[in-house]
Amino acid sequence: MKPRRHARSQLIRLRLDAPIVAMLIIVILVFALFMIIPLASLIVIPIENINFDILKSYLRYPYMTLKPLGESWILINEVDGVKHVIVTWKNYGIILNTLIAASLVTVFTSIIGIIVALIMARMDFPGKTIMRILVIIPLLYTPFVNAFVIFKFFGSDGIISHILQSLGLNMTLEFQGLSGMILAQTMMFWPIVYLNVYSSMLQIDPSLEEQAENLGAKGFKLFRSVTLPLSLPGLASGAAIVFIFSMEDLAAPLAFKVDDVISMRIVREIQSSVSILELSLDAVILSLILLSMAAVWFIAVKRYVSLRQYAMIVRGGRWTPRLHKPSIAGYIAIYGILLPWVIFSAIPQMGVLVYAFTEEWIGVFPSGLTLDNFKYIFSEDVTFKGLRNSLTYATIAVMLIIIIGVSSAYVASRIKSKVAEPLDVLVTIPIAIPGLALATGMIILYGFGPLSDIPVFRYLNPVDFNPAVLLIMAYAVRRSPFTTRAIYAGLQQVSEALEEAAMNLGASRTRVLFSIVVPLIGINVFSGALISFVYSMAEVSTSITIGRVKPIDEGYAPMTAVMYDFLLGGYGAGNYVHIVSAMAALILSVQLLVIALTNIVLKQRYAFIGV
């Protein structure tokens, strides 16, 4: 009896009936049209136009040079008895600058993330709960402005310099160019590594560390030989995402006035193109290079992790993580080094609110408490339309994301065939794809590529028609992994026996899906959709490329594109940072609301990027 029942269950799970085929087609079609083919389109223009001389030019300055330009790494000047220390960076060219900066940011964030994760996962100390909240704050997404707050501290005539002089040290400290960009990105991205490593450490069976201690491995040797190796999957995941985020980041380069990196050059080239039909070859090639660098890094990290075994023979049930009280030196390190760093890393997000609610911030202290910056957003046509557009685009994108998420997660979790694993990779890979490369590919494909002449696709042309359609699809693809993963987690908790029983009684797959499965995973769908909504609203790279193909004044641009235009001086005059900060504060408030809903109301764990 049992073998027959098992066989029937297998037939139900393996059956590719019409609803399953339809869901599979929807997912594959969406990702083919709005991810795979656009990315492949990046190859078309270079193949048609490139020659050996053009290719050779990318091995020379301004793209790369092994003899860097610049005076020194650190400049020290003394004026009127005050020593001015300027941390600068030699220029290796656009491509090498991007690669070196992303690598250094990845190394710095990994070191910080591992240390913080180890302390939070293995030590018990007063104030740990508060610190756990503080380490999350840098991940609250405030497009552009958090980098400007870091510049406010470390830029020319920054707050740090004022503090040093007020302490009577007669010196200033300033970070310029790439050095400032690396500092800003390190402060913004290190919690990504921390959360991934922390999650891995919590999953380590305590008995493994106990056995290692019994064999004489203690302290750093225990960490190096047991804890760190078992945490490598989390470290690799976080480091891969930080590397990609660093390469495509626009906030830090904009704040520290860095033009010689790939992300800034792509955006500048797209904006300076006479028309979409004359899209700069430079922008296309650099987008392809950006995509290639991200892909190589991602594949290398994935291969490195997959070559090692991390399986653990564990006891039944759930274990309690090993916690111990720090030594005196540990307390000094926690409260004297770790806590100040965590607080300092949270300052940029707090600084966003300072900018948003003040009239002026010159010197150390802001002045003029006001709500005029928020009034400006709702009273001015360009900012109000930007806010309205972002809400509209993100809402429509989330509706599509729910369809994509339910379809892909259900097929991947329920259909036990060779299709499941490639499908799972397809729907999660967008998180590792640079948005600038995807946006450039979409502009090529639907602006003047092979699909632009097909009647059904002509309305996707962002120049001849409303770019909103293409933006919505870009949001849906890029931000779908958050919802997909939340739904997949929910499906893992729903017994297939319920579906099996219903189908054995004659219910169709469609009826089972909508009457049993979806109601049981409703909370997962809703929480994942909320997270995707926030990140769609705050999407930067695709917004400022596709969203600014048409002039801002025409009213199609989303809020982040308007924010970028303000920061470039197109609007807002000298008050631009305060107005942009008010827009960022609105995004921040939406994100905090989502965190509260998912954690407190829905009892779900909020899924930050890469976690």
Residue with the larger pLDDT of the pair 108 and 7: 108
pLDDT given for residue 276 in this prediction:
63
C-alpha Rg value of the chain to the nearest Å: 26
- Which pair of structure tokens corresponds to residue 548? 């600014």
**End-to-end CA gap in the chain:** 43
Please report, rounded to a whole number, the percentage of residues in the chain having pLDDT higher than 70: 90
Q: Are strands 171-175 and 82-87 parallel, antiparallel or unpaired?
A: parallel
Q: What is the mean pLDDT of residues 207-215?
A: 76
Confidence of residue 1 (pLDDT cuts 50, 70, 90): very low
- Which pair of structure tokens corresponds to residue 605? 């764990």
Spatial separation of the C-alpha atoms in residues 320 and 323, rounded to whole Å = 9
pLDDT given for residue 472 in this prediction:
96
Is residue 30 pLDDT above 90, yes or no?
Answer: yes
| DSSP string covering 38-67 | HHHHHHHHHHHH--HHHHHHTTSTTT--SS
Q: Is the CB of residue 52 less than 8 Å from the CB of residue 36? A: no
Is residue 468 pLDDT above 80, yes or no?
Answer: yes
Highest mean pLDDT among 201-210, 304-313, 566-575: 201-210
pLDDT given for residue 560 in this prediction:
94
Q: What is the dihedral of CA 436, 437, 438, 442, to 10 degrees?
A: 100
Q: Is the CB of residue 147 less than 8 Å from the CB of residue 348? A: yes
CATH topology of domain 2-55+373-601: MetI-like fold (1.10.3720)
Residues 6+ apart with CB under 8 A from 107: none
Residue with the larger pLDDT of the pair 599 and 542: 542
Spatial separation of the C-alpha atoms in residues 363 and 365, rounded to whole Å = 6
What does the pLDDT look like over 554-580, one tens digit per residue? Answer: 889 999 999 998 887 654 444 688 999
Q: Which of 11-20, 108-117, 131-140, 338-347 has the least mean pLDDT?
A: 11-20
pLDDT given for residue 275 in this prediction:
64
What does the pLDDT look like over 90-134, one tens digit per residue? Answer: 899 999 999 999 999 999 999 999 999 999 988 888 988 888 888
pLDDT given for residue 573 in this prediction:
43
pLDDT given for residue 13 in this prediction:
47
- Each domain of the chain, given as residue ranges in start order, spans 2-55+373-601, 62-347
Q: Is the CB of residue 355 less than 8 Å from the CB of residue 374? A: no
pLDDT given for residue 209 in this prediction:
75
pLDDT given for residue 319 in this prediction:
59
Q: What is the mean pLDDT of residues 469-473?
A: 94
Residue with the larger pLDDT of the pair 274 and 260: 260
* Beta bridge partners of residue 69, listed in sequence order: 91
The one-letter code for the residue type at 571 is Y
Q: Is the CB of residue 19 less than 8 Å from the CB of residue 268? A: no
pLDDT given for residue 375 in this prediction:
95
Residues 6+ apart with CB under 8 A from 59: none
What does the pLDDT look like over 427-450, one tens digit per residue? Answer: 888 988 999 999 999 998 998 877
Confidence of residue 155 (pLDDT cuts 50, 70, 90): confident
Confidence of residue 196 (pLDDT cuts 50, 70, 90): confident
Q: Is the CB of residue 98 less than 8 Å from the CB of residue 306? A: no
| DSSP string covering 331-380 | HHHIIIIIHHHHHHHHHHHHHHHHHHTEEE--SSS-EEE-SHHHHHHHHS
Is residue 192 pLDDT above 70, yes or no?
Answer: yes
pLDDT given for residue 336 in this prediction:
92
Phi/psi class of residue 506: alpha, beta or left (left: φ > 0; alpha: ψ in -120 to 50)?
left
Please report, rounded to a whole number, the percentage of residues in the chain having pLDDT higher than 90: 36
Q: What is the mean pLDDT of residues 404-408?
A: 93
Is residue 391 pLDDT above 50, yes or no?
Answer: yes
What does pTM read for this prediction? 0.88
* DSSP conformational letter for 69: B
pLDDT given for residue 87 in this prediction:
92
CATH topology of domain 62-347: MetI-like fold (1.10.3720)
Is residue 609 pLDDT above 50, yes or no?
Answer: no
Q: Which of 303-312, 376-385, 525-534 has the least mean pLDDT?
A: 303-312
In three-state secondary structure terms, 548 is coil
Is residue 294 pLDDT above 80, yes or no?
Answer: yes
pLDDT given for residue 8 in this prediction:
46
Spatial separation of the C-alpha atoms in residues 28 and 46, rounded to whole Å = 27
- Asked whether the domain spanning 62-347 has the same topology as the one spanning 2-55+373-601, the reply is yes
Q: Which of 199-208, 427-436, 504-513, 532-541 has the least mean pLDDT?
A: 199-208
